[in-house]
Structure 1
Amino acid sequence: MNLKDCYIKFGGDFDEVLGRLRREQTIQKFVYKFLDDKSFLLFEASMRNKDYAEALRAVHTLKGICQNLSFTRLFESSSLVTKALKENDWKQAGDMMPQLSKDYYEIVQAIEELKSSEGE
């Protein structure tokens, strides 16, 4: 699997991020760093603890990362959750968590597959 295939797999826009970051090596570096980002895990924990201010901060951070890396599908789901939390609609935000989680873990899995394919 190459980087462009990885983007296709998780619903990202490779051409857009390439236009912004210019080099595949740069994109790949930041894509790999995404695996170390704790925003999603902090969001989940904050929602469980009903700390909605912290959940908003975390999902907003995730949304920004996704926008910068053109992770389109995850950007869209994190944008919807961000909007719900800004409007204090905790129920709607909670109802959208399964989709957000699915989108997040699809990206993580695709990136891990990309990393493992490099060693082959």
Structure 2
Amino acid sequence: MEESKKQILAEAGINVTKALNSFMQMEPMYEKFLNKFCLDPSFENLEQAVEVKDEDLAHLSSHTLKGISATLGMEKLYQLLLEQDNHFKKHEFEAGYDMLPQIKEEYLKMIEAIKK
């Protein structure tokens, strides 16, 4: 991975150093999973679940994204999803649903950085 790409990711709030530890310093594998993140349907599923108030799908999608974002070093996105997941665990679904705009903003920021 080029240093310029690492810088773009870091500026977006992705902790590349920490993430690479999860990938045993295998940069090509990390890049592959970053690119797969852009294709993963979990965020779209979360949006749809919130729109129709599908509690189970919302919780599952949030939980899935939380794990992926943690592994990829997306710390702010992870923190937002952790908070949302905790709301869902406590059956505070409206509070979890209300977090979608913040989560979407951060999610789109990650996608933009990955695609640069």
Q: What is the TM-score of this pair, normalised by structure 1?
A: 0.88
Equivalent position to 1:67, from 65, 70, 88? 70
- Determine whether 1:23 maps to 2:30: no
Equivalent position to 1:54, from 52, 57, 70? 57
Partner in structure 1 of residue 14 of structure 2? 12
State the number of aligned residues.
113
Paired amino acid for 1:52: E
> Matched residue of 1:108: which SS?
helix
Please, which runs of 5 or more residues in structure 2 have no aligned partner? none
Report if aligned partners of 1:3, 1:28 keep a CA contact under 8 Å in 2: no
Report if aligned partners of 1:13, 1:71 keep a CA contact under 8 Å in 2: yes
Cα distance, 1:7 vs structure 2: 2.2
Q: Deviations over 1:75-114 (max 9, x none)?
A: 111111111111111221122111101110000111111x
Q: What is the CA–CA distance in structure 2 between the aligned matches of 1:109 and 1:7, rounded to whole Å?
A: 9
Partner in structure 1 of residue 89 of structure 2? 86
Using the aligned pairs only, state the percent identity: 27
Q: What is the CA–CA distance in structure 2 between the aligned matches of 1:16 and 1:31, rounded to whole Å?
A: 14
User: Cα RMSD (Å) of the superposition?
Assistant: 1.3
Moved segments of 4+, more than 6 Å: none
Paired amino acid for 1:91: E
Q: Deviations over 1:26-59 (max 9, x none)?
A: 1111101111100010011001111011100011
Cα distance, 1:69 vs structure 2: 1.0
Q: What is the CA–CA distance in structure 1 between the aligned matches of 2:54 and 2:22, rounded to whole Å?
A: 35
Please, which runs of 5 or more residues in structure 1 have no aligned partner? 114-120
- Determine whether 1:2 maps to 2:4: yes
